[in-house]
Each structure stands twice: as structure tokens, then as C-alpha cells.
């Protein structure tokens, strides 16, 4: 008799203890595009050289007469990376003139650099102070030519560098 | 009380309780698709309609009986990179529900009662509006939309 009563109680309790329910989730997603505008400002000009003489154009200030510091401007509202392939030579009528390049970031055009000079293919990530708010950065491109490399045929020697600016978060 | 009466009592209780009762697991919810706003320009709101098959959120529910769906809707998406937020609104007209050829607009901010079917999925679609600010931080944003479904009866 006792066993029967226990069974009956169990049956009455069970239906109220179980409730059908379930849950699931999906995501809402969006990507805010970064604003990045790069504008070339000045070419790096070493100026006119006598054969056998070298020269250097430095970062951090406007170059002296006859020379110009290379520079481009970046308006960006996110962190950016700047990459390039660095050429080894200027090319002209007498062949190649070896050249070395150095780059730096600045907050003002032709102004003092925010970091020390680095190889142009090793610029660090440029960090914005306030993500989402446009800031202006400058990349200065400097370089030097050794006197030993300028005993070449007269003429114009040049090369080009293509910089890629990429927004990163 | 005689043994016969006890048996009759038990039989009566069993009969009373033999009406099919739901149990956990009888409601299947399939999170079929995220609500995808995609790439946005800062300062430019973006609306995803419930009829936008590629971008609307979708849940499919397979269950028996009368069901009640309730959503927990986000009001902002959060940057995965720096924790900044992007407002999102899923409002009264941003729900669409039903089976393939019979869909009706519903208010996802309120509970929705519908009938389940054991083999025909009942779909719940959500649209919404993302409203990035003029200085919205670039990057990826995400929020979670949660659907609860309970059985209201047979």
C-alpha cells in the first residue's frame, strides 16, 4: 500500500517540474570603414652634385637650398601601417648611383620627427590618439649618396618609391 | 481503503496526467543567420529590412503546440578592438514571422505567440538600423540577439 501512494505522488509532481523552453542566439555585426587619405607633398631632391661628392638630406626639418625633403601626408582616423619597397639605386644615363633612404613620422609638415629615423620598409604602426577622429600625420623621406658613387656620367638620376598605407585597428 | 479503490484512484490519476506534456528538447531553434549590416561609413545610418534575405537575422523554430517567442534585443554593438559602441535599433516594425508563403510583420520588442509544427519550421526574421556616429571608431562591431521560446500549451 505504501508503494502505491509513493508512485501516485511521483506522477503528480512530474508534469509541473518540466517546462518546454529553448533559447538561441545570433549576432548583429557591422564594420565601420576607416578614413585614410594619403597625399604626396614633395619629392626627395638631392640637388646638383659635383662628381665625387656625396650629400645627405635629413629628416626633421626643411632641407637647405637646392634640396627638398621627401614627404607625404596621411589623414587617418585609425591606426595605419606604412609599407614600401626600398630601391637601392638612382638610375640615370651613367647607370646606377647607390642611395640609402631613411624615413620618419612627423606631426607637422617638414617639422621635427616623432620617432627616430628608421628604414623606410620598417616604419612602425602610426597610432591615432582618438580612434574615429581624423588626424594628420606626415611621413618624411630622407636619404644620402656617397661621394664614391657619383663619379658617373652627368645627367639626371632618379628612382621612385611607392608607399602603401593600410588602416589597422 | 480497499486495494480496488486504490487502483481506481491510480488509474484516474494516470488518465488525468496522460495528456501529452511538453518537455525540454521538444522546441528546436536554429539560429540560421546573423543580422549583417556590413561595411558602414561613419555618420551614415544603415537600415536592414526584414525582407533583405541576405542580411536579416533569422531563427527557425520547430516545435509542437502554442509557443511564445521573446527576444532580448541589443541597443548597441561593441567594438571588438577597443570597446567603443555603435548604436543599433530593432524596433516595432523590424520583425517578420511565419512560414515561407505566409509571413506577417510583428513587433520583436513584444512577446509573439504562434503555433509550432513538428516538421514545418516557423521562421522569425529581424531587421534593424545601425547608426554610426560622425566620429565612430573604425573596425568591427558585434552584438548578440537572443531568442527565448516557451511552450504556452498544446
Q: What proportions of chain A, in percent to the nearest 5, are helix, strand and coil?
A: 15, 45, 45
% of residues, chain A, pLDDT over 70: 89
Q: Which residue has the higher pLDDT, A16 or A107?
A: A107
Helix (H) or strand (E) holding B147: strand B139-153
Q: Using a CB-CB distance cutoff of 8 angstroms, which residues of chain B are in contact with residue A29?
A: 34-37, 77, 140-143
E-strand spans in chain A?
21-32, 36-42, 55-57, 70-76, 79-84, 89-92, 95-98, 100-106, 135-145, 163-168
3-state SS assignment for residue A80: strand
CA distances from B78 to A134, B47, B83, B87, B136 (A): 21, 18, 6, 9, 11
Q: Using a CB-CB distance cutoff of 8 angstroms, which residues of chain A are in contact with residue B9?
A: 8
Q: What angle do CA A120, A125, A130 make, to 5 degrees?
A: 140
Q: How crowded is the C-beta side of A34, counted as CA atoms within 13 Å? A: 22
Q: Are strands B35-40 and A21-32 parallel, antiparallel or unpaired?
A: parallel
Nearest to B103 by CA among B77, B126, B134: B126
- Look over chain A and give the mean of its residue pLDDT values, rounded to a whole number: 89
Report DSSP state, residue A16: H
pLDDT value at position B154?
67
Average pLDDT of span A104-120: 96
CA distances from B23 to A68, A157, B37, B77 (A): 80, 83, 37, 35
Spell out which chain A residues touch chain B, with contact meaning CB-CB distance below 8 angstroms.
1, 4, 7-8, 11-12, 14-15, 18-35, 77-78, 130-133, 167, 169
Q: Which residue has the higher pLDDT, A13 or A109?
A: A109
pLDDT value at position A132?
87
Can you list the residues of chain B whose pLDDT is less than 70? 1-25, 154
- Please tell me whether the overall predicted TM-score, pTM, comes out greater than 0.80 for this model: no
Helix (H) or strand (E) holding B123: strand B122-126
Q: What is the DSSP string of B54-110?
A: TTSEEEEEE-SEEEEEEEE--SEEEETTT--EEEEE--TT-EEEEETTEEEEE-TTS
pLDDT value at position B7?
42
Query: Which residue from B minimizes the CA distance to A1?
Result: B3
Lowest average pLDDT, out of A43-47, A113-117, B24-28, goes to B24-28
pLDDT value at position B13?
40
pLDDT value at position A19?
57
Report the residue from A24, A25, A32 with minimal CB separation from B141. Answer: A32
At A83, phi and psi to the nearest 5? -130, 155
Nearest to A152 by CA among A69, A44, A54: A54
Residue A95 has pLDDT above 50, yes or no: yes
A20:B24 CB<8 A = yes
Nearest-Cα distance to chain B for A75, in Å, is 14
3-state SS assignment for residue B128: strand
Residue located via cell numbers 574615429: A132
Average pLDDT of span A107-123: 96
Compute how many other C-beta atoms are within 10 angstroms of the C-beta atom of residue A21. Answer: 16
Average pLDDT of span A17-42: 89
Compute how many other C-beta atoms are within 10 angstroms of the C-beta atom of residue A149. Answer: 16
pLDDT band of residue A9 (cuts 50, 70, 90) is very low
Q: Identify any residues that bridge with B114 across adjacent strands, giving them in sequence order.
A: B67
% of residues, chain A, pLDDT over 90: 82
Amino acid at each position: 500500500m505504501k508503494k502505491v501512494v509513493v508512485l501516485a505522488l511521483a506522477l503528480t509532481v512530474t508534469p509541473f517540474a518540466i517546462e518546454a523552453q529553448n533559447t538561441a542566439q545570433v549576432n548583429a555585426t557591422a564594420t565601420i570603414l576607416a578614413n585614410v587619405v594619403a597625399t604626396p607633398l614633395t619629392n626627395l631632391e638631392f640637388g646638383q652634385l659635383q662628381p665625387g661628392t656625396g650629400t645627405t638630406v635629413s629628416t626633421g626639418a626643411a632641407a637647405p637650398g637646392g634640396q627638398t625633403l621627401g614627404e607625404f601626408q596621411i589623414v587617418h582616423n585609425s591606426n595605419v601601417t606604412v609599407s614600401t619597397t626600398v630601391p637601392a639605386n638612382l638610375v640615370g644615363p651613367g647607370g646606377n648611383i647607390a642611395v640609402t633612404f631613411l624615413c620618419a613620422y612627423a606631426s607637422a609638415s617638414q617639422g621635427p620627427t616623432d620617432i627616430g629615423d628608421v628604414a623606410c620598409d620598417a616604419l612602425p604602426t602610426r597610432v591615432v590618439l582618438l580612434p574615429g577622429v581624423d588626424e594628420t600625420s606626415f611621413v618624411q623621406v630622407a636619404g644620402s649618396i656617397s661621394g664614391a658613387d657619383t663619379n658617373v656620367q652627368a645627367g639626371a638620376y632618379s628612382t621612385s618609391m611607392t608607399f602603401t598605407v593600410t588602416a589597422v585597428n | 481503503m480497499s486495494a480496488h479503490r486504490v487502483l481506481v484512484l491510480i488509474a484516474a490519476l494516470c488518465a488525468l496526467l496522460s495528456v501529452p506534456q511538453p518537455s525540454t528538447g521538444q522546441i528546436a531553434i536554429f539560429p540560421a543567420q546573423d543580422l549583417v549590416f556590413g561595411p558602414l561609413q561613419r555618420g551614415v545610418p544603415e537600415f536592414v529590412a526584414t525582407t533583405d534575405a541576405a542580411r536579416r537575422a533569422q531563427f527557425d523554430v520547430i516545435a509542437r503546440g502554442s509557443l511564445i517567442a521573446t527576444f532580448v534585443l541589443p541597443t548597441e554593438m561593441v567594438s571588438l578592438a577597443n570597446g567603443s559602441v555603435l548604436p543599433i535599433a530593432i524596433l516595432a516594425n523590424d520583425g517578420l514571422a511565419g512560414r515561407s508563403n505566409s509571413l506577417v510583420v510583428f513587433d520583436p520588442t513584444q512577446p509573439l505567440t504562434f503555433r509550432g509544427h513538428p516538421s514545418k519550421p516557423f521562421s522569425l526574421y529581424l531587421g534593424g538600423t545601425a547608426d554610426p556616429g560622425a566620429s565612430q571608431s573604425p573596425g568591427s562591431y558585434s552584438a548578440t540577439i537572443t531568442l527565448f521560446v516557451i511552450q504556452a500549451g498544446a
